[in-house]
Amino acid sequence: MAFSLTVNGERREVDLPGDVPLLWVLRDALDLTGTKFGCGVAACGSCTVHVDGQAVRSCQVTLADVWGEVTTIEGLGTPEAMHAVQAAWVEHQVAQCGYCQSGQIMQAAALLAETPAPSDDDIDAAMQGNFCRCGTYPRIRAAIHAAAARLSEG
Amino acid sequence: MSLGKIARRTFLIGSAAVAGGVAFGVWYARKPVDNPLDPEGEALALNPYVIVDRAGVSIVVPRAEMGQGVRTTLAALVAEELDVEMDAIRTLHGPASDSYYNGALAGLGLPFKDYAMSDLQHAIREQMGVMGKALGLQVTGGSTSTVDAFDKMRHAGAAARETLKAAAAERLGVPAEALSTGAGAVIAPDGARLPYPELAEAAARIDPPRAPALRPAAEWRILGTSQPRVDMVEKATGTARFGLDVRLPGMKFATVRMNPRLGAPMRSFDASAAEEMPGVERVIDLGTGIAVVASNTWLAFRAAEAVEIDWAEAPYPDTTEALFAEIARAFDTAPNSALRDDGDADTLPEGATEIAAEYRVPYLAHATMEPVNATALLDGDRLEVWGGFQSPTLVRDHCAEAAGVAPEAVRIHTTYLGGGFGRRGEVDFAVLAALVAREMPGTPVQVAWSREEDMGHDFYRPGALARFRGAVRDGRAVLLDGAIAAQSVTRESAQRLAGFAPPGADKGHVEGAYDQPYAIPNYRIRGHLAEMKLPIGFWRAVGASFNGFFHDSFIDELAHAAGADPLEFRLAHMREVHAPSAGVLDAVREMSGWTGETPDGTGRGVAFTYSFGTPTAQVVEVVDEDGAIRIARAWIACDVGTALDPRIVESQMVSGLLYGLSAAVMGEITFEGGGAQQGNFPDYDALRIHSAPAVEVRVLETAERLSGVGEPGTPPSMPALANAVFDLTGERVRELPLARRFDFVT
């Protein structure tokens, strides 16, 4: 069945069953591989994208249920024009293996959109669904504070 | 140059012309030699570390980037000598090749106590590197990459620099000594810059120097200074390509479902329902399971679940308790090793107080963030395989056999690894992709595993038991006698991957216990091997991941039995044995403000493990938070000899600590009916941002030799936490994970 959705500002047509999770639509049908598969059960946050600006686990949103405009890591910023959160990630040299970082960054960007100057507790509350086996958490925390400062200078 | 000469040297830098430029790297002898009378013409090939062409400078880093920063640090070794800026280079992994053998890895098997190695023993270890060369093992593991590359890649950079200078000297008609280099160019006496790409073709016609002088550390501009990682922008923008991100024209998406009773066959299956499901193209019989090929990974996952399968029984004891009973029986067999046997460990010294303890640690999964996967294409008699591989030459050979092609006809493409921790040193996931590709000639197929498949089909960190006894007198340890029982990772992985099990004492089995720098007069560590067919493998820090817990927990118990401060007790037994080890304990004492006293509701533990050449001490602080334990803070000090990139060293230390603490708190794979009972992160969780401690790291550089950093942070983390929990609660827990006994903030 054909569905139409807007991803990173572009209208895209997809011919897949409506129960396919958005994650696998993005990765396998639209070749947007920046969004990662980690668990498939909303336990790791690697697949986090924005739907109408809200951070969601794309492994739990079916194609038929996509209710708004989808933004993925590729749409947040590019190597040439990074979003403030991505720039802070580079400045603080956060990533190790890097596999979870797309989801971490999308979650952090959604947090800052809602809470421009988050406390450590705010960061804990917003980011605890995002798993990192390399243990980059201290640098994630520092990068979020740095991005908040950068955005407030704006 | 002769082949004999090459065989005697650990490596030989050479160069070769490439389109529009020149490559510098390691010469190696092809096997078999086509024409022994003409080795230069036919039997030698160059595997490059540096390519200079019209596009600029590219550096080949033939080690897996799995988060440890190796792509950056190894490129920096070349850049330092070549005089190119880190932001002006391109890096790539390069092909699977025997010439990228890891010379440092073979030396890890030698039964010397590393901290006490003499120069003669180091010389023997370097000779062992030649064996790594003969076996052609291109492996990323054992915290060896930097140690192995330290000379080779700097030599490649220096040879390239001197050859480019010689080309410039010819062009300008001046002696090479009159020229200098900087920022990717040769600089003429008048200050004119000749960029390397303009000299590359001429340089290809000049023999590189055999032994270019390397710069002393005092002159380093790049090494020793934290560099922006070459993979950071890609990883922050979703553009880094991992194995699962490989996309090829016409590619199909597949998954596998293998027998959860590991290694056992499949009796029968019925795929009729699955074959009718949307997007499904084929269900393939793999003998020990099935593969589903579809138009979308998720459709393949769902269809694989719909296949009805009758699995055969496990070829090993099929419950956790039965497995541990078998491990315990190994204590009754003759020890495989007694790599430390000082004094008389059978006799209790007169007037000493004896203590004894038994410890147990569980099987563990690697749980890399990216589930294992590989992509393969069989095109005629050629096979290409893409994925995140720690052992690409082994992948090449095993996939060749699986697909029925010659190893020479296999091309391996190594992507970034979404975590490795040892799991991606295995070849199973690549072999399954090759088997599926064999059934789909001409079509590239990506074989992705579900998280459940990944967790249920790991090569687990072995469960292990330890029985320690010891004695103290006058505040000192006078006896430590430890016995360790577990399956042998070294033997089983060597048998599986290389087809033979090395005989003799298995050092990996007891590392982290027999090789600790304590002065104890009667001191013995024996290893007992349990033999079972449950698959086990290399897990971050390998043997030290359990022996660090056993040995250091017992040192803590001895300290308390002696009525001594646990940090001072360790120091008192270490100071004369190995100064860098004492140095890291001194450092954590200062960093943490260790007094030996903690207020009510707070507990502190110290631990120390010498592993992979790096003495590492940690202090962990826990607090009681409404009846749950929070890991609040941690301090780490390590001595790596030379910190080539201090920030990467620091990150690896934090990473190793958190990986170990996660296991110590809640990591556990248990078995029922022969299958793992944990399938996904809800039942195999780890520390998260709110439950991870604040960490402070100090990197010391007093040790004589450069050492690895990927693993040494893991072993002391587990005893440091258990020792802290003892300080908080008064209860000595000798079995991991601790969440079996205590509530933690999670």
Mean pLDDT of B669-677: 98
pLDDT, tens digit, 9 for 90 and up, residues B299-313: 999 999 999 999 999
Tokens in use for B660? 């170990």
Percent of chain B clearing pLDDT 70 (strictly above): 92
Minimal Cα–Cα distance from B721 to chain A, Å? 17
Tokens in use for B716? 């002391």
Give residue for tokens 């421009």.
A116
- What is the reported pLDDT for B650? 98
Minimal Cα–Cα distance from B237 to chain A, Å? 6
What is the separation of C-alpha B694 from the centre of its chain, rounded to a whole number of angstroms? 25
pLDDT, tens digit, 9 for 90 and up, residues B123-179: 555 544 544 554 566 777 777 778 888 988 999 999 999 999 999 999 999 999 999
- What is the reported pLDDT for B125? 54
Tokens in use for B86? 């880190």
Mean pLDDT of B581-601: 97
Interface probe with B: pick from A96, A104, A106, most Cβ of B within 10 Å: A96
**Distance between CA atoms of B330 and B328, rounded to whole angstroms?**
5
**Distance between CA atoms of A110 and A113, rounded to whole angstroms?**
5
Percent of chain B clearing pLDDT 90 (strictly above): 82
pLDDT at B693 over 50: yes
pLDDT at B8 over 70: no
B11 pLDDT band (50/70/90 cuts)? low
SS3 (DSSP) at B478:
strand
Q: Which chain A positions have a beta carbon within 8 Å of B227's beta carbon? A: none
**Distance between CA atoms of B28 and B5, rounded to whole angstroms?**
11
Q: Which chain B positions have a beta carbon within 8 Å of A37's beta carbon? A: 244, 297, 370-371, 448
Residue B420 near chain A (CB below 8 Å): yes
SS3 (DSSP) at B608:
strand
- What is the reported pLDDT for B146? 82
State whether A93 and B651 contact (CB < 8 Å).
yes
State whether A38 and B371 contact (CB < 8 Å).
yes
Q: Which of A100, A129, A138 sits opposite B369 (nearest CB)?
A: A100
Residue A62 near chain B (CB below 8 Å): no
Mean pLDDT of B684-690: 97
- What is the reported pLDDT for B32? 42
Minimal Cα–Cα distance from A29 to chain B, Å? 8
Dihedral class, residue B176 (left if φ above 0, else alpha if ψ from -120 to 50, else beta): alpha
Give residue for tokens 């708190």.
B665
- What is the reported pLDDT for B94? 79
Q: Which of B240, B682, B688 sits opposite A41 (nearest CB)?
A: B682
pLDDT at B97 over 80: no
Mean pLDDT of B402-412: 96
SS3 (DSSP) at B473:
strand
Residue A123 near chain B (CB below 8 Å): yes
Q: Which chain A positions have a beta carbon within 8 Å of B68's beta carbon? A: 96
Q: Which of B68, B680, B687 sits opposite A43 (nearest CB)?
A: B680
Closest residue in A to B420 (Cα–Cα): A97
**Distance between CA atoms of A66 and A52, rounded to whole angstroms?**
10
Mean pLDDT of B264-268: 97
**Distance between CA atoms of B367 and B357, rounded to whole angstroms?**
31
- What is the reported pLDDT for B48? 85
Interface probe with A: pick from B369, B449, B539, B685, most Cβ of A within 10 Å: B369
B16 pLDDT band (50/70/90 cuts)? confident
Q: Which of B296, B655, B685 sits opposite A134 (nearest CB)?
A: B655
**Angle (nearest 5°) at CA B289 between B287 and B293:** 110
Residue B227 near chain A (CB below 8 Å): no
Q: Which of A34, A129, A131 sits opposite B238 (nearest CB)?
A: A34
State whether B687 and A73 contact (CB < 8 Å).
no
Minimal Cα–Cα distance from B326 to chain A, Å? 31
Mean pLDDT of B51-72: 92
**Distance between CA atoms of B746 and B690, rounded to whole angstroms?**
8
Residue A138 near chain B (CB below 8 Å): yes
A18 pLDDT band (50/70/90 cuts)? very high
Q: Which chain B positions have a beta carbon within 8 Å of A141's beta carbon? A: 689
pLDDT at B41 over 50: no
Residue B692 near chain A (CB below 8 Å): yes
B95 pLDDT band (50/70/90 cuts)? confident
Minimal Cα–Cα distance from B397 to chain A, Å? 26
State whether B253 and A72 contact (CB < 8 Å).
no
B118 pLDDT band (50/70/90 cuts)? low
Residue A18 near chain B (CB below 8 Å): no
pLDDT at B530 over 50: yes
Residue A20 near chain B (CB below 8 Å): yes
- What is the reported pLDDT for B30? 44
Residue A73 near chain B (CB below 8 Å): yes
**Distance between CA atoms of B137 and B142, rounded to whole angstroms?**
13
Mean pLDDT of B72-81: 96
Mean pLDDT of B270-292: 97
Q: Are strands B337-342 and B445-448 parallel, antiparallel or unpaired?
A: unpaired
Q: Which chain B positions have a beta carbon within 8 Å of A24's beta carbon? A: 296-299
Residue B508 near chain A (CB below 8 Å): no
- What is the reported pLDDT for B38? 42
pLDDT at B667 over 80: yes
**Which is higher by pLDDT, B432 or B125?**
B432
pLDDT, tens digit, 9 for 90 and up, residues A47-95: 999 999 999 999 999 999 999 999 999 999 999 999 999 999 999 999 9
Mean pLDDT of B405-415: 95
- What is the reported pLDDT for B502? 81
**Distance between CA atoms of B689 and A127, rounded to whole angstroms?**
7
State whether A124 and B233 contact (CB < 8 Å).
no
Rg (C-alpha) for chain B, rounded Å, is: 27
**Distance between CA atoms of B596 and B606, rounded to whole angstroms?**
10
**Distance between CA atoms of B453 and B315, rounded to whole angstroms?**
19
For residue B48, CA distances in Å to B52, B83, B392, B558 come to 10, 18, 16, 53
B93 pLDDT band (50/70/90 cuts)? confident
Q: Which helix (H) or strand (E) holds B434?
A: helix B428-439
- What is the reported pLDDT for B26? 75
The answer to whether B709 and B590 have CB atoms below 8 angstroms apart is no
Q: Which of B297, B369, B689 sits opposite A128 (nearest CB)?
A: B689
Number of Cβ pairs closer than 8 Å across A and B?
190
Count of other CB atoms within 10 angstroms of residue A152: 11
Tokens in use for B475? 């505040």
Q: Which of B66, B244, B367 sits opposite A37 (nearest CB)?
A: B244
pLDDT at B337 over 50: yes
Residue A108 near chain B (CB below 8 Å): no
SS3 (DSSP) at B59:
strand
Please report the residues numbered 43 through 82 in chain B whose beta carbons come closer than 8 angstroms to any beta carbon of chain A.
Answer: 66-69
State whether A134 and B231 contact (CB < 8 Å).
no
- What is the reported pLDDT for B663? 98
Q: Which chain A positions have a beta carbon within 8 Å of B371's beta carbon? A: 37-38
Q: Which of A99, A123, A131 sits opposite B686 (nearest CB)?
A: A131
B28 pLDDT band (50/70/90 cuts)? low
Number of helices (H) and strands (E), helices first, in chain B? Answer: 20, 28
pLDDT at B37 over 50: no
pLDDT at B47 over 50: yes
Q: Which chain A positions have a beta carbon within 8 Å of B228's beta carbon? A: 90, 93
Interface probe with B: pick from A14, A37, A49, A78, most Cβ of B within 10 Å: A37
Q: Which chain B positions have a beta carbon within 8 Å of A27's beta carbon? A: 244, 297
Which of A98-112, B105-119, B291-305 is least confident?
B105-119
Long-range contacts of A74-81 (CB under 8 A, 24+ apart): A74/A8, A74/A32, A74/A34, A74/B237, A74/B238, A74/B239, A75/A7, A75/A8, A75/A9, A76/A105, A76/A106, A76/A109, A77/B237, A78/B237, A78/B239, A79/B233, A79/B234, A79/B237, A79/B239
- What is the reported pLDDT for B96? 78
B13 pLDDT band (50/70/90 cuts)? confident
Q: Which chain B positions have a beta carbon within 8 Å of A125's beta carbon? A: 690
The structure's pTM equals 0.94
Residue A89 near chain B (CB below 8 Å): yes
Closest residue in B to A48 (Cα–Cα): B238
B121 pLDDT band (50/70/90 cuts)? low
Residue B228 near chain A (CB below 8 Å): yes
State whether B651 and A23 contact (CB < 8 Å).
no
Q: Which of A24, A73, A138 sits opposite B296 (nearest CB)?
A: A24
Minimal Cα–Cα distance from A104 to chain B, Å? 10
The answer to whether B140 and B70 have CB atoms below 8 angstroms apart is yes
The answer to whether B160 and B208 have CB atoms below 8 angstroms apart is yes
